[in-house]
Amino acid sequence: MTEYINIKDNMLNCFKGNTPKYVVKSNTLVLNQKCIRNNVIDFSLAQYTEDKCTNENKILRLGDLIINSTGQGTAGRCAYVSELPNTKVTVDSHMLIVRFNNKDLSKFFSYFLYKNEELMLTLLTGSSGQGEFDKERAFNIKFPYCNENKEIFCKIFDAIADKIQLNNKINAELENMAKTLYDYWFVQFDFPDENKRPYKSANGKMVYNEVLKREIPDGWEVKPLKYLIKHINTGLNPRDNFILGNGNIKYITVKNITENNLLDFKNCDTIDEIARNKVHNRSDIQVGDILFASITPLGRCYLIQESPIGWDINESVFSIRPNLIEISSEYLLMCLTSKYFTKKASNSSTGSIFTGIRIKTLENMSILIPPQNILKTFTKKLNQLLKRKNICFKENIDLEKVRDFLLPLLMNGQITVNPEC
């Protein structure tokens, strides 16, 4: 039998986090709004806070539900606490901790809040830019709950959540491996020389470069980006061109390019085929192009590895097509996402409402060019990492589709499954 339940009548307590006092190292991690995405907690984005700042009630426990409570576009994001690192964890003042007697209910509400993120975004009070999540209204919303199916609901929820979490950890590790490889070869310059020794550490010849204001390996070049690419295109702004919300083609903006350089198709605007043709005439995106977020946060990129069917980009996303005779897509991706490049790009940005970089400015930024043999070896190594990363990413999309098909049916009582099966 299906009943309708809300958070207010089922929670034990709700705590708002504290304003943290960040430190280099302590025994307490503090989560912020960026740590929640797609119903999952990313502990790698947490920072340390002073231990004395934290009330014991606000230390996370397994089974807690955490919710972003402020910010247009982030308020309402939530996650179930299924695991914790070997240290204390709390949340900052822009997040809520909701605690239940029953972990199953926490899982249930976590999922249904997540599935209704668009509704949650309408429950903001205050200024449009930094509204406050109206928890009174949100916690009174009733969701369908079938008690007979709760056991199988939790089994499916846990199994899929665990696999998605594992894939996210694998992708985070792959991302770290890619950055470490790039840093070792092209920042520290300890790529393998002809004798397989680390170049700079083995006293390889270095020369001072006036453009980069640092030493680089002898024989390497530095060129403006415009000489290494075929073009930089952008998508199209709706304005007088088309109406958002029609059709089922995903309309990618900078918010859909994640911090680990993947595409997140959730909460995308949509356009129809006619609009897509207009956009594509300008963007001309294809496999091998790099999508570059031109407004803050700069440095987010995505390398298109499969034909972009069913989606296109808006005007704030640049599409950069490398000239493969000069440079590989994989190497350019790492250059564009490097700390050096993102810092230079941020310093060159303009704008009052949205800080961003212009195409001409980007084209004139300098790129370090290694010899072709080193470039080819690096590209081969990186390509393997990116392919594995994309496999995990696509698997998560498929898992989410299965979850989002089954769980609502279970809780609506439309299907029943024997938990013993």
CATH number of the domain encompassing residue 50 = 3.90.220.20
Domains in the chain, number: 2
Closest CA to 374 of 247, 123, 210, 199: 199
Domain annotation covers residue 263: yes
Q: pLDDT for 50-89, tens place per residue?
A: 987 678 899 999 999 999 988 777 788 899 999 999 999 9
pLDDT the model gives residue 16: 92
Of residues 247 and 207, which shows the higher confidence score? 207
Model confidence band, residue 127 (pLDDT cutoffs 50, 70, 90): low
pLDDT at 302: 95
User: What's the confidence (pLDDT) of residue 353?
Assistant: 58
Q: pLDDT category, 229, cuts 50, 70, 90?
A: very high
Does a structural domain hold residue 202?
no
- Going by pLDDT thresholds of 50, 70 and 90, the confidence category of residue 134 is confident
Is 102 inside a domain boundary? Answer: yes
Asked if residue 334 is part of any domain, the answer here is yes
Which pLDDT score is estimated for 417?
Answer: 67
The verdict on 225 and 362 lying in the same domain is yes
For the cut 70, the answer to whether the pLDDT of residue 129 exceeds it is no
* Mean pLDDT value of segment 105-134: 80
Note whether residue 290 is domain-resident: yes
In a domain, residue 374? The reply is no
Contacts of 400 (CB under 8 A, 6+ apart): 38, 160, 164
**46 φ/ψ angles, rounded to the nearest 5 degrees:** -75, 160
pLDDT at residue 222 greater than cutoff 90: yes
Residue 330: per-residue pLDDT: 97
Does residue 112 have a pLDDT over 80? yes
Which of 109-123, 249-263, 326-340 has maximum average pLDDT? Answer: 326-340
User: What does the pLDDT average to over 378-400?
Assistant: 93
Query: Which of 369, 389, 410 corresponds to the end of one domain?
Result: 369
Does residue 266 register a pLDDT over 80?
A: no
Residue 412: its pLDDT value, please?
A: 85
Q: What is the DSSP letter of 250?
A: E
Amino acid at 413: G
If one counts every other C-beta atom within 10 angstroms of the C-beta of residue 421, the result is 5
Same domain, 235 and 347: yes
Average of pLDDT values for 294-313? Answer: 90
Q: Inform me whether the pLDDT recorded for 128 exceeds 70.
A: no
Q: Whole-angstrom Cα distance, residue 336 to residue 355?
A: 17
Confidence bin at 414 (pLDDT 50/70/90): confident
Are 355 and 326 within 8 A, CB to CB? Answer: no
Owning domain of residue 338: 221-369
Given this model, what pLDDT does residue 71 score?
Answer: 76
Residues 225 and 365 in one domain: yes
Asked which of 79, 114, 141 is the last residue of a domain, the reply is: 141
Report how far apart, in Å, the C-alpha atoms of 60 and of each of 26, 95, 342, 368 are. Answer: 16, 12, 34, 45
Do the domain assignments include residue 170? no
Determine the 3-state secondary structure of 97 from DSSP. strand
Residues 227 and 318 in one domain: yes
Q: What is the mean pLDDT of the chain?
A: 90
Confidence of residue 240 (pLDDT cuts 50, 70, 90): confident
According to the model, what pLDDT value does residue 388 have?
Answer: 94
**CB neighbours (10 Å) of residue 111?**
22
Query: What pLDDT score does 264 carry?
Result: 84
Is residue 380 pLDDT above 60, yes or no?
Answer: yes
| pLDDT at position 419 | 55
Q: Is 117 a domain residue? A: yes
Q: Are residues 268 and 365 in the same domain?
A: yes
